[in-house]
Amino acid sequence: MRPPPTPLKFGYGTNGFTHHRLADVLADLGYDGVALTLDHNHLDPYAEDLPRRVTALARQLDRLGLDVTVETGAPFFLDPWGKHLPTLMSDGSEPRIDLLRRALRIAADLGSPTVHLCSGPAPEGLPEEDAFKRLAEGVGVVLESAEKHGVALAFEPEPYMFVDTVERCLRLAQLVGGNPLFGVTLDIGHAHCVEEQPLLECVRLAAPLVRNVQIEDMRRGVHQHLEFGSGEIDFPAVLAALRDLDRRGLVSVEIQGGSLDAPEVARRSIEFLRTAERAAADL
């Protein structure tokens, strides 16, 4: 008999908590973890006293009993004028490679099993085959550091970026030789927003490579992260599908627009998800 699936572990993304101190509110609300976006706010990977900050954060997370996954999706961190620039496809990709290497070291020190990344936009005029080649080469360089630190990369398909669907992410996985440290961050809202196939089919396609899950409500064709119940997604069905995955990491809420009311948005979110999880048990 197949053993029962392990319960889902819910986290909350710090890109939706930009006006509060990290972690304390989330632990009080009953979250299991934190999706930590490296940025100027909660943890700057270029801070002069970075080792001290990482050590203090690791102790705080341990004290609160929170898991962590490290993310690198801050849109203007490297270039205040260019969203998600430079990318691994850019002519000057070195700053992005350096950031990802730093993220891997931080993840290892914090006990995060993964570092999240996304493609960003392809350079204007670059043919698709060349863009995939550059991206795969850049990911390959970063995977060398991932192997050194024992931390996996979790690549997220993002609407309106070069890699925007699960199928394109799977193509990239093939181009990096099926490296076991290359995985997927599956964003439920993004999949509903842009994918041609049904959402649950996207979960099935991504399942072998899923390392993390991001979750929020969304409407078809509109890339706006909504509170649960404000969009179109059937969450009990989604959570039932996620529950059956062998490897999924944290299921982290990502509602960046809720920062001004973050504690209440986070409270409503965990209550919604726990209710939906109970409903999923009957599916």
pLDDT tens track, the chain, 283 positions: 555 667 899 999 998 888 877 667 888 999 999 999 999 989 999 999 999 999 999 999 999 999 999 999 999 999 999 999 999 999 999 999 999 999 999 999 999 999 999 999 999 999 999 999 999 999 999 999 999 999 999 999 999 999 999 999 999 999 999 999 999 999 999 999 999 999 999 999 999 999 999 999 999 999 999 999 999 999 999 999 999 887 778 999 999 876 788 999 999 999 999 999 999 988 8
Measure the CA–CA gap between 216 and 268, rounded to whole angstroms.
12
- pTM beyond 0.75: the answer is yes
pLDDT the model gives residue 141: 98
Considering Cα of 2, then 186, then 108, then 101, what sign does the dihedral take? positive
pLDDT the model gives residue 130: 98
Measure the CA–CA gap between 133 and 165, rounded to whole angstroms.
17
Give me the residues paired with residue 34 across strands: 12, 68
What angle (nearest 5°) sits at the alpha carbon of residue 240, between those of residues 234 and 243?
A: 135
Q: Which among 202, 52, 176 is positioned nearest to 117, based on CA atoms? A: 176
Measure the CA–CA gap between 23 and 31, rounded to whole angstroms.
9
Instruction: State how far the alpha carbon of 235 is from the alpha carbons of 75, 182, 254, in Å.
Output: 28, 27, 15
Q: Which among 28, 32, 25 is positioned nearest to 9, based on CA atoms? A: 32
Torsions phi, psi for 56 (to 5 deg): -65, -40
Q: CA torsion 45→50→56→59, rounded to 10°? A: 60
